[in-house]
Amino acid sequence: MKIKSATFHRSAAAIDACPAWDWREFAFVGRSNVGKSSMINKLCGKDHLAKVSALPGKTRLLNFFVMNEAWSLVDLPGYGFAQVTKHQKYDFSVLIKDYLEQRQNLAAVFVLVDSRLPPQRIDVDFVNWLAGCRVPYVLVFTKADKLAPGKVQANISLFQEAVVREQAQPLEVIVSSSKTGSGRIGILKAIERSLQPH
């Protein structure tokens, strides 16, 4: 599948401020700084569509992008970012939770996990929580350009073990890098599959 057009539509600070369309949506979620916004830019081939920063906590709202005038990518704020006030942090998690639990046209979620790290409790807990929602999800292990492939695979295996201990369903996994573009095709294929009428 080709992305022929990609435009920013709007940001939303609450579930009732989300666009009213019924286009299928694909959400990018994960810890602050894991590379959600960078991956959205890579998928679209546009460097500055979603705002990227070396400092965690850049994306603070739900950001809606329209693809091919037919479906949507949503850049979510990161979870687990401590450098904000308690009140802000609470708001962020409610925003993520409300969106993932309530958005009717949400087709699939890409959960981004830093491939350089052994399983982090917050990511394992998040995936286990998400498994209780009705929406399908795919794990995307980011920043693979920064580590030897064997080490990436070792961290993925550890993560799968940590999650599978708590849930039975098999996990679809994609290894990615926004620097090299690896994983881009896998993500687009997962979206294409989901967009096909079943």
**Residues in touch with Mg ion (CB under 5 A):** 36-37, 58-59
Report the nearest approach of Mg ion to the CB of residue 36 (Å).
Answer: 5
State the minimum distance, in angstroms, from the CB of residue 73 to Mg ion: 12
Smallest CA-to-CA distance from 159 within 172, 143, 178, 149 is with 172
Compare residues 75 and 144 and give the one whose CB is closer to Mg ion: 75
Residue 115 found at the interface with ligand GTP (CB under 6 A):
no
Check binding of 152 to ligand GTP (CB under 6 A): no
Choosing from 177, 187, 190, 191, the residue that interacts with ligand GTP (CB under 6 A) is: 177
Instruction: Indicate the residue whose CB is closest to ligand GTP.
Output: 78
In the complex, the smallest distance separating the C-beta of residue 12 from ligand GTP, rounded to whole angstroms, is 15
Candidates 54, 82, 148, 168: give the one binding ligand GTP (CB under 6 A): 54
Query: Counting contacts by CB under 6 A, is residue 179 touching ligand GTP?
Result: yes
Residue selected from 27, 32, 66, 114 as contacting ligand GTP according to rule CB under 6 A: 32
For ligand GTP (CB under 6 A), the number of binding residues is 23
Pairwise CA distance, residues 26 & 42, whole Å: 15
In this structure, the number of other CB atoms found within 10 A of the CB of residue 125 comes to 15
The residue whose two tokens read 């979603």 is 50
Cβ 77 vs Cβ 61: under 8 Å: yes
Q: DSSP assignment, residue 77?
A: P
b/e 39-54 (16+ beta carbons within 10 angstroms → b)? bbbbbbeeeebbebee
Q: What are phi and psi of 175, to 5 degrees?
A: -95, 130
Residue 150's Cβ-count burial label (10 Å; 0-12, 13-18, 19+) is: exposed
Name the nearest CA neighbour of 55 among 37, 72, 29: 37
Select the residue interacting with ligand GTP from 15, 23, 57, 153 (CB under 6 A): 57
In the complex with Mg ion, which residue's Cβ is closer, 61 or 173? Answer: 61
Q: Which residues bind ligand GTP (CB under 6 A)?
A: 32-38, 52-54, 56-59, 77-78, 142-143, 145-146, 177-179
